[in-house]
Amino acid sequence: MEIQKIGVVGAGQMGNGIAHVAAVAGYDVWMSDISQDALDAAMTLIDRNMERQVSRELIAADAKAEAMARIRTSLKLADLGQCDLIIEAATERESVKQAIFEDLIPHLQPHTILTTNTSSISITRLASRTDRPERFMGFHFMNPVPVMQLVELIRGIATDRETYDSCLAVVERIGKTAASAEDFPAFIVNRILMPMINEAVYTLYEGVGNVRSIDQSMKLGANHPMGPLELADFIGLDTCLAIMNVLHEGLADTKYRPCPLLTKYVEAGWLGRKAKRGFYDYRGEEPVPTR
């Protein structure tokens, strides 16, 4: 099936990035959120990010104007019912995602493919709560979406070949690379990345090093572009904790136990960049380590 219209649920950092790359690739896009302020902020950010692409000669000015015109926003999920493919990019809580799919289902066309941008939740379990498990799969973009080249495609037990092929075609059209992952906790990227971040937090918790020394060690000693604690702040410490809990519960292995210090930061509301405090304090001109 050829995808022409794409619906995006959620206008946050992942949702607006997905809408951005889909529109640039020529898809008509409907982006929905429960907040008009979030939709307005998303459109402003998309415009700014596309303008940056124009200034770098990655896209032409007229292509930017055409892409912006292809994005429509709505507070009503029902307006996404006309789409061929829907990508849910709401908060990383299973109950929220299930409620979204329940609200969407009465408005969908028979051929509509449902996907989720979840970074860790079971695709098979989410699919089983819908009326189309064979047309449901994981469509996991990396953050920031316009920059990162990878998309994880995750099939649930019931996902059929046509659905996978249709989603693969979308990944190729938006100019990204697909990695096919099996439906096990956290898939590929976060199965490897999050335990590394969690171990960095344990290294801090146990006093082996401070925030700056841990991040410098991984940047200069392992050639990572960002230190693990800096990266955790960028991702969001609440998201990191949620993924570690999925790994710990889903695999029942103590090596995935979330570090108590990570839990403490989340309890304090120090969630990283978005909260202005995490392993670094972002309230001044330069980030300052908090430990």
* Domains of the chain (ranges, CATH numbers): 5-182 (3.40.50.720), 189-289 (1.10.1040.10)
Helix (H/G/I), strand (E/B), else coil: 95: helix
What gap in Å lies between CA 196 and CA 147, rounded to an integer?
22
152 is catalytic: yes
**Which of the residues 32, 88, 140, 166 is marked catalytic?**
140
> Quick one: tokens of 172?
């190729």
**Which of the residues 16, 49, 117, 119 is marked catalytic?**
119
**Residue 166 annotated as binding site:** no
Buried/exposed 59-96: b ≥16 CB within 10 Å, e otherwise: beeebbeebbebbbbeeebebbbebbbbbbbbebebee
> Quick one: tokens of 53?
């692409």
Phi and psi of 7, rounded to 5°? -105, 140
| Stated pTM of the model | 0.89
* CA dist list (Å): 34 to 11, 22, 31, 126, 280: 9, 21, 11, 21, 30
What gap in Å lies between CA 23 and CA 140, rounded to an integer?
18
166 is catalytic: no
**Residue 65 annotated as binding site:** no
119 is catalytic: yes
**Residue 94 annotated as binding site:** no
Element (H, E) at 181: strand 177-182
pLDDT tens-digit readout, 19-70: 999 999 999 999 999 999 999 999 999 999 999 999 999 999 999 999 999 9
The answer to whether 67 and 99 have CB atoms below 8 angstroms apart is no
**Which of the residues 49, 190, 198, 230 is marked catalytic?**
190
pLDDT per residue as tens, the chain (291 positions) = 789 999 999 999 899 999 999 999 999 999 999 999 999 999 999 999 999 999 999 999 999 999 999 999 999 999 999 999 999 999 888 999 999 999 999 999 999 999 999 988 999 999 999 999 999 999 999 999 999 999 999 999 999 999 999 999 999 999 999 999 999 999 999 999 999 999 999 999 999 999 999 999 999 999 999 999 999 999 999 999 999 999 999 999 999 999 999 999 999 999 999 999 999 999 999 999 999
- What is the reported pLDDT for 192? 96
